[in-house]
């Protein structure tokens, strides 16, 4: 039992350390960071409850053991739910409704004190045994973790070898922590300490990814773009799509920088959705994005841009801050080109600003506060 309490204490310390690290918000974007802290904090509460549970178990305090069991069973699915929310990082209605299975577990767990659906108090031994519907809690938790893994795999293909191996190691570590507690005859408290260590390792993973990804949009960042640029110097065929949000400074000045951040996030989301299967999306500046499409035909890029414009209209209609407008330019490099990467990039940039100028000509009521547009017009 002392070993169990040492594991619980270790898990609590790891959880508190993870919360302290996340409070700085350096590795995860604000939404993901919030869900991460919620998941870790609930895990710490579970560990504190398990500490009491171990005391009641050791001293045959049956009723106290039942109460702590109800608390642990009630809170457990919420950890898995926040893992899912952390991976998705969105505030859609369907994602909010995903909390309902966890709520149902919490209600049934509390009711089980009387109904014995999830757990039963053995009056002779004063120990708690599994009830006839105990499997439901595992099904709900497994469902959340499966959805979290599926959401994680959407970005997995962009990770480097070291990040892929590290993430696989985290999942394997979590499994090895869960299995002993579920199969042990005597009470073993190793699952939640392992989960808290897993949370900490996950944060370390995102610190590793922070050097490659933009925290706000989850797109690849400027450093990654520079690394990719070096590799493109030796490649024959690729297409660059350069994008820029129209009127971002006006949004910041009139609606505030939070609205500006929402515009950048929406721009990144729409771009990634349109080009997910065709190329990699990089945030190269404040409101600038570049997509590198390797071995892609112009027709496929044109189709992706059509999807981009359709999705942009849908997102714009739902935005509380008004319509979102994005200009873009496309330039191709093939085996017959004599252009260097910088020239291809400059061509896409030039075409994008031609489109931006047309936008401002059609919308004279919008202030032209973009410094680069002014410079272009002065020439």
Q: What is the CATH number of the domain that holds 300?
A: 3.30.70.270
Query: Measured between alpha carbons, how far is 271 from 259 in angstroms, rounded to an integer?
Result: 18
Strand order in the sheet with 326-333: 280-283, 288-294, 238-245, 326-333
Evaluate whether 78 touches 42 at the Cβ level (below 8 Å): yes
**Angle CA(218)–CA(219)–CA(225) in degrees, nearest 5?**
140
Strands (E), 119-235: 119-122, 127-130
Q: Residue 372: what pLDDT?
A: 45
Specify if 233 maps to a domain.
yes
Secondary structure class of 292 (helix, strand, coil):
strand
Q: Residue 166: what pLDDT?
A: 86
**Angle CA(35)–CA(39)–CA(43) in degrees, nearest 5?**
165
Q: Which of 84-98, 166-180, 256-270 has the highest mean pLDDT?
A: 256-270
Secondary structure class of 283 (helix, strand, coil):
strand
Q: For 61-73, what is the mean pLDDT?
A: 86
Cα dist from 301 to 270, 275, 353, 359, whole Å: 15, 8, 19, 22
Specify if 214 maps to a domain.
no
Q: Is the pLDDT of residue 44 over 90?
A: yes
Q: How many residues does the chain have?
A: 379
* 180 and 70 inside one domain: yes
When mean pLDDT is compared across 19-28, 106-115, 318-327, the lowest value belongs to 19-28
* 203 and 249 inside one domain: no
- Tell me the angle at which helices 371-378 and 341-362 cross, rounded to the nearest 10 degrees: 90
When mean pLDDT is compared across 77-86, 88-97, 344-353, the lowest value belongs to 88-97
Binned at pLDDT 50, 70 and 90, residue 105 comes out as very high
| Burial class of residue 70 in the structure, from the number of CB atoms within 10 Å of its CB (0-12 exposed, 13-18 middle, 19+ buried) | buried
Query: Measured between alpha carbons, how far is 85 from 148 in angstroms, rounded to an integer?
Result: 8
* 127 and 269 inside one domain: no
Counting the structural domains of the chain, the total is: 2
Query: Measured between alpha carbons, how far is 360 from 152 in angstroms, rounded to an integer?
Result: 39
Instruction: Using the 3D structure, point to which of 183, 209, 235 is the last residue of a domain.
Output: 209
Q: 355-360 long-range contacts, Cβ below 8 Å, gap at least 24?
A: 355/327, 355/328, 355/329, 356/244, 356/246, 356/327, 359/246, 359/325, 359/327, 360/246
Specify if 215 maps to a domain.
no
Q: Is the pLDDT of residue 216 over 60?
A: yes
* 185 and 256 inside one domain: no
Instruction: Using the 3D structure, point to which of 150, 183, 209 is the last residue of a domain.
Output: 209
Specify if 217 maps to a domain.
no
Structural domain boundaries, residue 33: 2-209
The CA-based diameter of the chain, rounded to the nearest angstrom, is: 91
| Tens-place pLDDT, residues 310-364 | 999 999 988 888 889 999 999 998 766 667 888 889 999 999 999 999 888 887 7
Q: Residue 367: what pLDDT?
A: 52
- What contacts 216, CB < 8 A, 6 or more positions away? 29, 261, 264, 265, 268, 283
Evaluate whether 88 touches 36 at the Cβ level (below 8 Å): no
Query: Measured between alpha carbons, how far is 76 from 140 in angstroms, rounded to an integer?
Result: 10
* 68 and 138 inside one domain: yes
Handedness of CA 125, 110, 119, 195 (dihedral sign): negative
Q: For 153-175, what is the mean pLDDT?
A: 77
Q: Which of 22-26, 160-164, 191-195 has the highest mean pLDDT?
A: 191-195
């Amino acid at each position: 039992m002392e070993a169990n309490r040492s594991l619980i204490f270790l898990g609590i310390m790891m959880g508190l350390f993870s919360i302290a690290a996340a409070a700085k918000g350096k590795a995860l974007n604000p939404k993901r960071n919030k869900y991460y802290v919620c998941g870790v904090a609930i895990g710490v509460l579970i560990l504190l409850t398990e500490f009491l549970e171990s005391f009641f178990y050791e001293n045959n305090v049956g009723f106290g053991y039942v109460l702590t069991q109800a608390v642990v069973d009630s809170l457990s699915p919420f950890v898995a739910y926040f893992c899912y929310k952390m991976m998705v990082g969105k505030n859609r209605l369907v994602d909010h409704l995903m909390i309902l299975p966890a709520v149902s577990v919490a209600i049934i767990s509390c009711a089980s004190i009387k109904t014995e659906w999830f757990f039963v108090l053995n009056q002779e031994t004063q120990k708690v045994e599994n009830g006839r519907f105990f499997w439901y809690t595992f099904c709900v938790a497994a469902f959340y973790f499966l959805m979290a893994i599926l959401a994680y795999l959407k970005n997995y293909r962009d990770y480097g070898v070291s990040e892929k191996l590290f993430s696989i190691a985290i999942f394997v570590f979590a499994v090895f922590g869960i299995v002993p507690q579920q199969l042990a005859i005597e009470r073993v408290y190793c699952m939640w300490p392992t989960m808290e260590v897993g949370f900490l390792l996950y944060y370390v993973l995102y610190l590793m990814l922070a050097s490659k990804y933009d925290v706000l949009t989850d797109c690849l960042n400027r450093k990654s773009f520079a690394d990719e640029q070096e590799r493109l110097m030796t490649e024959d065929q690729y297409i660059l799509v350069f994008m820029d949000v129209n009127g971002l400074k006006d949004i910041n000045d009139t609606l505030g920088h939070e609205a500006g951040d929402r515009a950048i996030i929406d721009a990144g989301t729409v771009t990634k959705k349109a080009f997910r299967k065709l190329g990699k999306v990089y945030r190269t500046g404040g409101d600038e994005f570049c997509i590198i499409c390797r071995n892609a035909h112009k027709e496929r890029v044109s189709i992706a841009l059509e999807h981009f414009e359709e999705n942009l209209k849908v997102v714009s209609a739902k935005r509380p801050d008004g319509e979102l407008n994005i200009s873009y330019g496309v330039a191709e490099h093939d085996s017959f080109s004599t252009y260097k990467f910088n020239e291809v990039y400059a061509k896409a940039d030039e075409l994008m600003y031609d489109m931006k100028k047309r936008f401002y000509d059609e919308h004279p009521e919008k202030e032209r506060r973009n410094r680069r547009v002014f410079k272009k017009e002065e020439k």
